[in-house]
Structure 1
Amino acid sequence: MADSFATRARLDVNGKSYAYSSLPELGKRFDLAKLPYSMKILLENLLRHEDGVTVLPAHIEAVAKWDPKDEPETEIAFMPARVLLQDFTGVPCVVDLAAMRDAVARLGGRPGQINPQIPSELVIDHSVQVDVFGRADALDINGQIEFQRNQERYSFLRWGQKALQNFKVVPPNTGIVHQVNLEHLARVVMEREVDGELMAFPDTVFGTDSHTTMINGIGVLGWGVGGIEAEAAMLGQPSSMLIPQVVGFRLTGKLPEGATGTDLVLTVTQMLRALGVVGKFVEFYGDGLQHLPLADRATIANMAPEYGATCGIFPIDAEAVRYLRLSGRSEDQIALVEAYAKAQGLWHAPDSPHAQYSATLELDLADVKPSLAGPKRPQDRVLLEKLGENYRSNLQGLIANRAPRKTEVKRMDEEGGDQPQAEHLAASPQSLIRIADQDHYLKDGSVVIAAITSCTNTSNPAVMLGAGLLARNAAARGLKAAPWVKTSLGPGSLVVTDYLKKAGVLADLEKLGFYVVGYGCTTCIGNSGPLPDEVSRGIAENDLVVASVLSGNRNFEGRVHPEVKMNYLASPPLVVAYAIAGTVDIDLSTQPLGKGSDGNDVYLRDIWPTNKEIGDMIAATVGPEMFAHNYADVFKGDSRWAKIASPDGESYAWSAESTYIKNPPYFDGMTMQVGSIDDIHGARVLGLFGDSITTDHISPAGNIKKDSPAGRFLQSRGVQPADFNSYGSRRGNDDVMVRGTFANIRIKNLMLGGEEGGNTLFHGSGADAGKKLSIYDAAMQYKAAGTPLVVFAGKEYGTGSSRDWAAKGTILLGVKAVVAESFERIHRSNLVGMGVLPLQFKEGENARVLGLDGSETIDITGLDDGAAKTATVVVRKADGSEKRFEVRVLLLTPKEVEYFRNGGILHYVLRQLAAKTAA
């Protein structure tokens, strides 16, 4: 690597001598004193990867001279130190690596050449579902069901665990990916031999889950990316990014009595959403850091996707080092972290000078009040005392179109039998349900799910032990959870269960129904499992608007459970409180939770633990020995994992019968010959879309419908609808996923007048000419006829979560180019990485302005093998008329042109590796 600015220096720690790229050395040429912490991390990354091709001295200088007021426009190449995967998004990454092993062998290379080039770790945490709850064997039964559902996927991942170098798998039943990352996987400072020399450098990470940002809480720069970007990083390819703006968030004071880290993060989320930080870095600083435990920092960092930022980072300081020691990291590693951070000017002390920021916010922690967020967005914070009012105001919009219905209301007679009353028109309907031989009324506002779940809070001993103490106090007063509430406890790691047990509060949580149901992302990602039949019937009977209260980070409409229309985020202690109350139509600051065993009202203030009680319990229960014990054999797994049969060998033994794992067709017919970027002739329009088509619209997601192309395919393979599982679980099978691309029930193809659903008008030949077909069925007919396809769209094409299958499915459908008014940056990059050409309309032009209706035949000319900055689109109508317009070619760097000539980034890497063998 080059060293144009002579920054190579040495650091001696633990008897080892490390080479490193010194920021203080660079500081002799540029004023780096006011650079934010996160910008220094980016700067070091460029210094270390300078190669004269991808990273130039001009890129280093651009970051070194960063002006906080500048709008982002300079692109740089960033290379993370490692990659973090969860199983839903990680499986297709491993599938691609397995396919590349087969392909490189066909090209004359060795299968064993294909490995991640940087440490890549996958945590299986997205597959467990809350099928069973409220009983001591819930964890065991849910685990059994999980393994039955995911046998094929787990067998495949076990092969990867054995066959791939630089790749490790954390088996199921261990914890949530981000918490395992925080507690064990994160290094904070990495060491690696490079060209025979031991180097030290900051731990940075790409994760295939948006909440990868949780690791920002301990000073590690990282964020969520799509699968293609993660695969590129795994294979040693840098990621292009704009030099960001950095928003500073100053924290002062300390949290008051009764306020939790959850209340703090909901406040921060609301403030940052109001400011607008999409695409920006957020950096926390100020005197308040010294009063903010690492767990609270991680809670704030975790929610960066909810406040819209790329990251929400805290610096390395004494608290970070304390946490490393608490979580059982070695003293050698701790010494390296502290020495390196201080040598690089990355260490934060209370008297450290403040950086300059693009914008700043300030919060006095003393002003934080107990809060929730909802009922459908994490940034919509609600004060605890205003929740009932918030529920009632939102209820009106949800019941506006609900038809009044006649309901037979029953009442209990003196002997406990049912006495039906006359039918009446129910203005406020309620459904009589029977649970455990007792009758209860389910109403609008009833809490039917109370879940302590998700990495946001389950990493935080203060709120977890706080929930346990509140449960203890509630049980002592004789309070119980309302019988219609589905209660669940999903600890973020085995460590959490250990300290809950040691503190004696796990038993108290269980008394209120909060039994451990699994270790993974459960309710927060929609794996909440079915509601009890009686509750489901009660909701349906009167179309009730019921609620969930969860300690997660996302509460979007339809995400938690399809039958639950209101979802509120809250701290774990408040989750327990609302389980007892059984409704969100209540003000817990003034109204009682219920009556105790003595017949008296019990209020939330009566059972809320003090900060001192919680702090004393943390000090007495949480220690390094718990982390050391639980992570000693973290990659080994339990007996179920050990019993899973998996193939051996460098190459994977694909099964033709599998509907979960399949060798994708990306490399079929591939040779060592690099292609060219040719003009496109005779293309047809597959979709004509408007603005804001997101990757949720494009990418297969959620449940698989019985009558969808994917559903019909699975049934043709003998899979019953009850066993469909989800698109997420089948991401390793392209036959399923390509059928779900553009199949979203809410996508609007303007070729059909804006009708919702994944359909198109087929303009090919044959019996279906002029007919409405599913996008998949039409694409396959076009492909059989050798007809290339294009997609036209409006502004902000590909926004949302950057999903790999939004690009993979597009290319497999036969789409050669997407022409849009504007693209989301990462989706544009993913299209390039899969060999789909992104083209941009000229300012003021779009399909509507140009009079396109989707019936046209399309030529795209003048590409000049990727050298052209613009191309000509020639549109021919059925009547023979012709129209031409210019578009911008969005191959933005020489590297992207090279990727595209190769057919995509995976093909590029394959040829590079095969060429090394030939040499």
Structure 2
Amino acid sequence: MTNLNDPFNARAPLVVGGQTFIIYRLDALARRVGADLARLPFSVKVLLEALLRNVGDGFTTIDDVAALAQWTPASAGQREVAFKPARVLMQDFTGVPAVVDLAAMRDAMAHLGGDPAKINPLVPADLVIDHSVQVDAFGHGMALVLNAQLEFERNRERYEFLRWGQQAFANFRVVPPATGICHQVNLEYLATVVMTREIDGELVAMPDTLVGTDSHTTMINGLGVLGWGVGGIEAEAVLLGQPLAMLTPEVVGVKLTGALRPGATATDLVLRVTEMLRRHGVVDKFVEFCGPGLSALSLADRATIANMAPEYGATCGFFPVDAETLAYLRGTGRSDDLVALVEAYCREQGLFRTDDSPIPEFNTLLELDLSTVEPSVAGPRRPQDRVPLTDLKASFNQAMRTIFGREAPAYEGNGERRRERRDLYAASRVPVTLNGQATALTHGSTIIAAITSCTNTSNPSVMIAAGLLAKKAVEKGLRVPPYVKTSLAPGSRVVSEYLAQSGLQEYLDQLGFNVVGYGCTTCIGNSGPVADEIAQAVKAGNLVVSAVLSGNRNFEGRINPVVRANYLASPPLVVACAIAGTVDIDMNREPLGVGIDGEPVYLADIWPSAEEVAEVMAASLNADLFRQQYANVFTGNETWNAIPVSGGDLYAWNPDSTYIQNPPYFRDMTREVPPLASIRGARALALLGDSVTTDHISPAGSIAKDSPAGRYLIERGVQPADFNSYGARRGNHEVMMRGTFANIRLRNAMVPGVEGGYTIYLPTGEQMSIYDAAMRYQADGTPLVVLAGKEYGTGSSRDWAAKGTFLLGVRAVIAESFERIHRSNLVGMGVLPLTFAPGESWQSLGITGREIFTIEGIETLRPGQELTVHAQRPDGSAFTFTVKARINSEGELAYYRNGGILHYVLRQLAEQEEPAAV
């Protein structure tokens, strides 16, 4: 007789160190369904365990489990999987609105007559405050303190709210500011690889899996932990016990052979991998690394590669658990009991890789010989545009012509080591005086050099290499030009500790690479301002100046508005470019500068050897270092601890706050699910083209003072200097809805020839901001629709792209096709995604956006149902067309019926008699 809770008889004990754990054995499943697990990618096996453990939960069926156990490359993408990650990781920009929604759900629960304390994360959640620090102070010993003070001043309201959440919610922890970036704290401390949970009195062991509200959550894949970044709405769903709906993954294998040659760093490797995988095409696919070359990569090198998965386009970049994983856990201070459990569990479940492990079956298998990797940078605008370091000067000059549209002399290197740099842009030189020092800027001048968090700061080998290069440079008498804004933002305090213990930080300090903060800085646009004199010189000379950073994103306009050419580089190359003061340099042939003895100093003269790096690492890194730094990680920031906490189970909303407001999602909500109704008399808010991204839809970046959001803040006494950013104000729906569809590059065909967030208010024909028009329509009681082309909603700015759409009054989006996650987010907010019939578009149907639309058939809506749209033109004539409801499952239909996923969960919890938190 089949046990409904264990239909495959897979539950079994695992005894480790005298402790008994319950596991769900994959080999038992394989025997029952006749599957060969040895041929499955390791990442698929991790997914399979989650399905096996949760079968019968109302989302996963016996057939779902059996189908995934028999995964083949041909079956990829053919079936939906309901994945329940074991935990959630958030950063503060995207985590704050999730906590706001939980607080709002508590108010709504009280309104419904239920117990507000029932609203808690149902899976463990950690929020790391790491996106709020900005590089205002730099280049001196007080930079860290001053930037931290400014961070607290700017974000105090948000921090007070998070302090309340920290004490109000179960299963929710907050890592305070100035601790580190979420990915690195996760790698060094939070992740366990195998986690345990008490369920019905039994201790169940399972793979540590997660989703995170940051795209670079994928760094943890380097530790053998399956996880990736999602939008805030998806993260909230997981927090509230709902599964993540995804298609059976397509998996691209990357077989690594050989080893890195001397002089090549993990950064050079990841730029090569990014270039290779972008060229192949891995968007929305799993990437899994295999082959004997894995054993030549440190765990930190693997994490560097995994972290760049969003840049090569993959969902994840997975490295299976092996001996190096165990060594890293020991080396970072994890307990012996945990390491023993990880090894025993992974070996028992077929999740442990060795060099003798067979290569799994993949949809595609690519190969890379690590010995072919060469020193490189990437730029000037995209992370996949790798440039061998030998070609940097030639590449920059080509970019001047082909990308920046400037006159640029051709550079031809002749192989000689030159004493003086060949100045190709002498005629464009603009003199500048900074702090009494006379200098000059020209094309290529590096005005920002940042060792910045994310890709590289988790990797001791490249950080120590940067310190050693700085030491050799200082000893040679080299200095950094005064126009270079230098900064070091370590990913955790462990980095500062080993740089200090090794004596290398003092040399970085002498070159201006003082620690400026612990958090994501330059590569998310938190580089802070450059000196007014520099900005004026760039404008006066119409210069193309550069930034060099060790981060992961270098899109134009992202790093700093003054900078046009942005290059990704390893930390030691960031220091080298800072010394050179330009990217218009051939570092193999031209000197970085002149030493104290009057002789030219070349990169090769100060580049540290692999042996030197290894020697410092061995002397400076140990498990005690990690234990000490993470001993009081949640309580160690006294400034954070001093923030007062107000309110109990319910948050005391401050109506005057411009950072945190109670969103109106649950206004007038009832316990009963309202009947579905057709959308009648709708107006078009926007008529959009192909590839409109969530960056076009979602508020991001700075807030313009003449924008609806800017006017809102000014009306409340906030001066433009204190606007902060949309990211910092994500907890205030009033700001965010005003910034939805407000991107300065948005093109709405209803206002031809106009860029930006504008539309026509059709009753009067007035042109106005999309927000202002939407509010007029709401006052009229008029529902809205958005019409769009192909690939609507691609991009990573996901949660507010759906939330803002809903708050503006949009009830349906009709597009030719949707990006998968944005489509599901629209459903999660109660917005109906619809697609035109194949071959049709708003253009082919002659839609102008001035029609009145009625969408019929919603009352009896089923997944994938066809609906009829009636459109009446201004002259009274009418036409109809057919659309398909892109609600893909019964679960999504339940969310839509309820008005969104939060409403669905709230009603479910309101019906429960016992508290739902676990």
If the length of structure 2 is used for normalisation, what is the TM-score?
0.96
In the TM superposition, 1:898-913 aligns within 5 A as 898-913=894-909
**1:150 and 1:644 mapped to 2: Cα distance?**
12
> Displacement of 1:677 after TM fit?
1.9
Deviation at 1:755, TM superposition (A): 2.2
**Residue aligning to 2:412:** none
Q: Report if the CA contact (8 A) 2:437-2:482 is conserved.
A: no
Looking at structure 1, the residues matched to 299 and 426 of structure 2 have their Cα atoms a distance apart, in angstroms, of: 49
- Structure 1: distance between partners of 2:770 and 2:357: 58
SS of 2:835's equivalent in the other structure is: strand
1:896 aligns with 2:900: no
Instruction: Name the counterpart of 1:74.
Output: 79
CA deviations over 1:145-190 (Å, ceiling 9, x no partner): 0000000000000000111100000000000110000000001101
Deviation at 1:864, TM superposition (A): 3.3
Q: Partners of 2:862 and 2:610 in 1: how far apart?
A: 64
Structure-2 residue corresponding to 1:255: 260
**Residue of structure 2 in register with 1:448 after alignment:** 447
**Is structure 2 residue 766 aligned with structure 1 residue 771?**
yes
Q: Tell me whether 190-199 or 686-695 shows the greater mean CA deviation.
A: 190-199
Letter paired with 1:771: E
Q: Match of 2:65, as an amino acid?
A: I
Q: How many residue pairs were aligned?
A: 893
Verify: 1:362 aligned to 2:367, yes or no.
Answer: yes
Asked if residue 566 in structure 1 is aligned to residue 565 in structure 2, the reply is: yes
Structure 1 residues 401, 706: closer, same or farther in 2, change over 3 A? farther
1:88-127 deviations in Å (ceiling 9; x for gaps): 0000000000000111011111111110000100000000
Find the partner of 1:801 among 796, 802, 806: 796
Structure 1 stretches of 5 or more lacking a match?
404-425
Q: In structure 2, what residue type is equivalent to 1:198?
A: L
Given candidates 381, 387, 393, the residue that maps to 1:382 is 387
1:326-475 to 2 correspondence within 5 Å? 326-400=331-405, 428-475=427-474
1:144 corresponds to which of 142, 145, 149: 149
Alignment pair present for 1:190 and 2:186: no
Against the structure 1 CA distance between its residues 708 and 266, is the aligned structure 2 distance closer, same or farther, given a 3 Å change threshold? same
- 8 Å contact kept, 1:710–1:737: yes
Name the aligned partner's letter for residue 906 of structure 1. L
- Deviations along 1:838-866, one digit per CA (max 9) or x if unpaired, are 01100011111111101100000012332
- Residues 468-483 of structure 1 mapped to structure 2, 5 A cutoff: 468-483=467-482
What code does the residue aligned with 2:16 have?
A: V
Q: Percent identity, please.
A: 60
- The one-letter code sitting in structure 2 at the alignment partner of 1:321 is L
Separation of aligned partners in 2, 1:918 and 1:266: 52
| Superposed counterparts of 1:213-252, under 5 Å | 213-252=218-257
Could you tell me which residue of structure 2 aligns to residue 409 of structure 1? none
**Equivalent residue of 2:671, what SS?**
coil
The one-letter code sitting in structure 1 at the alignment partner of 2:645 is S
SS at match of 1:541: helix
| Most deviating of 668-677 and 561-570 | 668-677
RMSD of aligned C-alpha atoms? 1.3
Structure 1 residues 871 and 399, CA gap change in structure 2 (3 angstroms): closer
Post-superposition CA distance 1:802-854 (Å, at most 9, x none): 51000000111011100000000000000000000001100011111111101
Cα deviation, residue 53, structure 1: 3.0
Residue 534 of structure 2 aligns with an amino acid whose one-letter code is V
Q: What is the Cα deviation at residue 195 of structure 1?
A: 2.4
- 2:315 maps to what in 1? 310
Counterparts of 1:531 and 1:881 in 2: how far apart (Å)? 58
Aligned to 1:125: 130
Asked if structure 2 preserves the Cα contact closer than 8 Å seen for 1:269 and 1:306, the reply is yes
Instruction: Give the Å deviation of 1:401.
Output: 6.9
In structure 1, distance between residues paired with 2:592 and 2:74: 51
After TM superposition, the score normalised by the length of structure 1 is: 0.96
* Contact 2:400 2:406 survives alignment (8 Å): no
1:608 matches 2:607:
yes
Question: SS at the partner of 2:253?
Answer: strand
Q: Which residue of 2 aligns with 1:821?
A: 816
One-letter code of the match for 1:917? E
User: Does residue 14 of structure 2 align to residue 11 of structure 1?
Assistant: yes
d(CA) in 2 for partners of 1:74, 1:232: 20
How many angstroms does 1:3 deviate by? 2.3
Which residue number corresponds to residue 681 of structure 2? 682
| Separation in 2, partners of 1:448, 1:653 | 45
Distance 1:651 1:82 in 2: 24
CA shift at 1:918, angstroms?
8.8
For the pair 1:812 / 2:807, whether they are aligned, the reply is yes
Counterpart of 1:531 in 2: which secondary structure? coil
Is the 1:402–1:543 Cα contact (8 Å) retained in structure 2? Answer: no
In 1, Cα distance between the equivalents of 2:286 and 2:877?
50
Shift of 1:637: 3.5
| Match of residue 422 from structure 2 | none
Structure 1 residue 58, shift from structure 2 partner: 1.7
Structure 1 residue corresponding to 2:830, chosen from 835, 859, 866:
835
Contact 1:225 1:802 in 2 (8 A): no
Quote the residue 2:161 is aligned against: 156
1:748 alignment partner in structure 2: 747
Counterpart position of 1:166? 171
AA in 1 matched with 2:294: L
- 1:107 lines up with 2:106 in the alignment: no
| Between 188-197 and 554-563, the greater mean CA deviation after superposition | 188-197
Distance 1:484 1:843 in 2: 56
Superposition deviation, residue 638 in structure 1 = 1.5
- Cα deviation, residue 196, structure 1: 2.4
What is the alpha-carbon distance in structure 1 between the residues aligned to residue 805 and residue 581 of structure 2?
A: 46
Q: How does 1:638-787 map to 2 (within 5 A)?
A: 638-764=637-763, 769-787=764-782
Query: Are 1:867 and 2:862 counterparts?
Result: yes
Please tell me whether residue 855 in structure 1 is matched to residue 860 in structure 2.
no
Q: Distance in 2 between matches of 1:867 and 1:549?
A: 52
Q: 1:52 to 1:746 in 2, by over 3 A?
A: same
Q: Secondary structure at the match of 2:63?
A: helix
Deviation at 1:57, TM superposition (A): 1.6
The one-letter amino acid of 1:185's match is L
SS of 1:11's equivalent? strand
Aligned residue in 2 for 1:414: none
Q: Is the 8 A contact 1:11 1:17 kept in 2?
A: yes
